[in-house]
């Protein structure tokens, strides 16, 4: 091999290394599709919190306390945490003595949810976990008093579409809490992370008011907003009332250890750890009636 060929090989390997570093470490598989993202989170679920090193006081100060205050006028509020991971937001909220509501945590990584169940066991009677994709939330419109989605929009194929989905299930007057990736790596996440003014415009283009985007951590801005419309209802509602079939959007009825669509008959089992499995449902056993 002559010198030029050797140099080109080394250059090729370096470029390949940089490409892999970008796609797998910085973007965490975001441009390779949800399957790769989920695979990466499934692999790292056990060590995720060791990497993140959340400080409990900060979690209370920036998340649990302000969200509890924002919901203080609603008796027993119902909160949805999309891309809940290992249950960070449910923990911050349910540790607040003044929060008397319920939380539903949804994620597409089954192993992250397993960790979430383990880490929030003390709050099990006020928590439900759902295994499902954020792009197709299995809930009725205008359902939740608050919808949260932290450090996750950039890992979905279309953050704008996911934001619209978050707002769809939020009831008028309800609170949206979400994040936008900033910091040094954000420039390597085109169409997934946005300049602050563009992110504000994206939120304002949705039926939202009181949009506030503030610097939060080195890598994230935190965004608060309220859904426009006449506030009504609110509070905890039974699951069969709010759950919708992700395949046909019709209602689900509760059977012993599953939810079944009253229209298409698809079954969504409740796993041994209590997680409702919607992302990969068992083949439909159609009811005869
Ligand atoms: C950086 S973690 C954030 C977890 C949690 N919100 C937190 O702040 O600790 C990103 C999470 O998004 C989830 N996720 C990525 N794409 C998703 C999708 N399309 N639907 C639902 N969850 C998704 C991952 O499985 C992972 O748990």
C-alpha distances out from residue 206 to 55, 142, 167, 191, 199, Å = 33, 14, 8, 18, 11
Task: Please indicate whether residue 78 or residue 280 has the higher confidence score (pLDDT).
Answer: 78
Residue-range domain boundaries for the chain:
1-32, 51-227, 239-271
Q: Which residue has the tokens 């304002």?
A: 204
**Residue range 95-123: average pLDDT?**
98
* 165 touches 138 (CB < 8 A): no
Could you say which DSSP state residue 22 is in? I
Q: How far apart are CA 189 and CA 156, in angstroms?
A: 11
* Residue in 89, 155, 161 to alter for ligand 1 test, most ligand atoms within 8 A of Cβ: 155
Q: How confident is the model at residue 281 (pLDDT cuts 50, 70, 90)?
A: very low
pLDDT tens readout for residues 262-271: 999 999 999 9
* Residue in 26, 152, 220, 280 to alter for ligand 1 test, most ligand atoms within 8 A of Cβ: 152
pLDDT tens readout for residues 223-276: 999 999 988 778 999 999 999 999 999 999 999 999 999 999 999 999 999 999
Over the chain, what is the mean pLDDT? 94
Q: How far apart are CA 200 and CA 238, in angstroms?
A: 34
User: Length of the chain in residues, anyone?
Assistant: 289
Please return the burial class of 105, using the count of CB atoms within 10 Å of its CB with bins 0-12, 13-18 and 19+.
buried
46 token code pair: 């056990």
Q: Does the structure show a pLDDT above 50 at 42?
A: yes
* 68 touches 76 (CB < 8 A): no
Ligand 1 center–CA 150 separation, angstroms:
8
- Strand partners for 255: 258
Ligand 1 center–CA 210 separation, angstroms:
26
Q: How confident is the model at residue 282 (pLDDT cuts 50, 70, 90)?
A: very low
C-beta 92 within 6 A of ligand 1: no
- Strand partners for 269: 258
Q: How confident is the model at residue 89 (pLDDT cuts 50, 70, 90)?
A: very high
Kindly state the helix (H) or strand (E) to which residue 268 belongs, with its residue range.
strand 267-269
Architecture of domain 51-227: 3-Layer(aba) Sandwich (3.40)
Q: How far apart are CA 161 and CA 112, in angstroms?
A: 23
Q: Does the structure show a pLDDT above 50 at 71?
A: yes
CB atoms within 10 A of CB 173: 18
Could you say which DSSP state residue 217 is in? S
């Amino acid at each position: 091999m002559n010198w030029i060929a050797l140099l080109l090989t080394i250059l090729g390997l370096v470029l390949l290394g940089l490409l892999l570093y970008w796609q797998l470490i910085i973007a965490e598989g975001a441009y390779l599709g949800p399957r790769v993202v989920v695979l990466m989170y499934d692999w790292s679920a056990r060590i995720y919190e060791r990497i993140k090193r959340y400080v409990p006081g900060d979690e209370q100060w920036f998340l649990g306390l302000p969200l509890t205050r924002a919901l203080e006028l609603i008796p027993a509020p119902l909160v949805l945490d999309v891309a809940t991971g290992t249950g960070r937001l449910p923990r911050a909220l349910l540790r607040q003595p003044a929060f008397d509501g319920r939380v539903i945590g949804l994620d597409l990584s089954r192993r992250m949810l397993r960790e979430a169940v383990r880490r929030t066991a003390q709050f099990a009677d006020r928590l439900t976990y759902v295994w499902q994709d954020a792009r197709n939330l299995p809930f009725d419109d205008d359902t939740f008093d608050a919808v949260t989605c932290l450090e996750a929009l950039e890992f979905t194929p279309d953050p704008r579409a996911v934001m619209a989905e978050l707002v769809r299930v939020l009831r008028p007057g309800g609170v949206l809490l979400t994040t936008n990736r900033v910091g040094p790596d954000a420039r390597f996440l085109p169409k997934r992370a946005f300049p602050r003014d563009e992110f504000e415009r994206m939120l304002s283009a949705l039926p939202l008011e009181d949009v506030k985007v503030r610097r939060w951590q080195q890598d994230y801005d935190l965004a608060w907003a309220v859904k426009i419309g006449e506030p009504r209802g609110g509070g905890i509602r039974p699951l069969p009332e709010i759950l919708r079939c992700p395949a046909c959007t019709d209602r689900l009825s509760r059977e012993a250890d599953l939810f079944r669509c009253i229209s298409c008959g698809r079954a969504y089992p409740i796993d041994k750890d209590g997680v409702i499995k919607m992302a990969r449902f068992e083949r439909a056993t159609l009811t005869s009636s």
